[in-house]
Amino acid sequence: EDQVTQSPEALRLQEGESSSLNCSYTVSGLRGLFWYRQDPGKGPEFLFTLYSAGEEKEKERLKATLTKKESFLHITAPKPEDSATYLCAVQAGKGNNRLAFGKGNQVVVIP
Amino acid sequence: SAVISQKPSRDICQRGTSLTIQCQVDSQVTMMFWYRQQPGQSLTLIATANQGSEATYESGFVIDKFPISRPNLTFSTLTVSNMSPEDSSIYLCSVAAGLRETQYFGPGTRLLVL
């Protein structure tokens, strides 16, 4: 069974204080690892897909990296508008298109 | 990407009743999915809505409780039947779009069962 564990569950950062979120996974044949951002009262917003170990992707202050066992979402010099819950999900190589999600990293950036 | 809308955005229902949630996407897509997000829990796939055939349900979810319709390539409904307080949750529709079939999510339907 595909499993995704995210840590820390909650994180409070000062504005400008860089940090990293961790997503550890076990999956039978990784097809893709996904990061989403979810604001309160809204649906998840797609950020990145990573397909193979060593791959990196960036978007503004966010950078996602992937190894064979985990992914990191680095937040560089965060701003209050980066406050959100960040969700990690994996998709296995076999079977249907089901995404297996972690519980999320809740990030609060304090001005 | 895809623009997805859901109706209703939220509802408060009495136990024993049923609620049908609608999902509309702005382009034709092959795959649509229904997820549940319970408080403090991760998103869990309920079923894949297949156009022209029965939905494919995940372990722990059954058609009698969560009947799904998919009449065309832009629309689907999920019904939560004979509701109990344990069904209080956010229900999310998603679609697979683009060359890599990335999943995009709707805004969700917030359901409270009393």
Per-run averaged pLDDT (10 residues), chain B, 114 residues: 94 98 95 94 93 90 96 96 97 92 95 97
Q: Which residues in chain B touch residue A85, judged by CB atoms under 8 angstroms apart? A: none
Q: How much is the mean pLDDT over chain A?
A: 94
Give me the pLDDT at residue B51, please.
83
CATH number of A3-110: 2.60.40.10
| Shortest distance, CA A44 to any CA of chain B (angstroms) | 6
- Going by the DSSP 8-state scheme, the letter that residue B54 receives in this structure is P
Q: Hey, are the CB atoms on B100 and A49 less than 8 Å from each other?
A: yes
Q: Hey, are the CB atoms on A43 and B92 less than 8 Å from each other?
A: yes
Give me the pLDDT at residue A94, please.
67
φ, ψ for residue B87 (rounded to 5)?
-85, -5
Q: Which residues in chain A touch residue B31, judged by CB atoms under 8 angstroms apart? A: 97
- Going by the DSSP 8-state scheme, the letter that residue B73 receives in this structure is T
Q: How far apart are alpha carbons B109 and B103 in whole angstroms? A: 18
Q: Hey, are the CB atoms on B31 and A97 less than 8 Å from each other?
A: yes
Q: Which of A4, A96, A102 sits opposite B48 (nearest CB)?
A: A96
Give me the pLDDT at residue B103, please.
94
Q: Domain B4-107, what fold?
A: Immunoglobulin-like (2.60.40)
Cβ proximity of B57 and B63 under 8 Å: yes
Domain ranges of chain B: 4-107
* Lookup: tokens for B13: 């229902």
Give me the pLDDT at residue A93, please.
74
Give me the pLDDT at residue B53, please.
83
Domain ranges of chain A: 3-110
Average confidence (pLDDT) over A96-104: 89
A–B CB contacts, 8 A cutoff, strictly below: 52
* Lookup: tokens for B77: 């409904």
Give me the pLDDT at residue A103, please.
96
Q: What is the SS3 assignment for A85?
A: strand
Say if A72 is an interface residue toward chain B (CB within 8 Å): no
Tens of pLDDT along A11-51?
A: 999 999 999 999 999 988 899 999 999 999 999 999 999 99
- Residue A96, pLDDT > 70, answer no
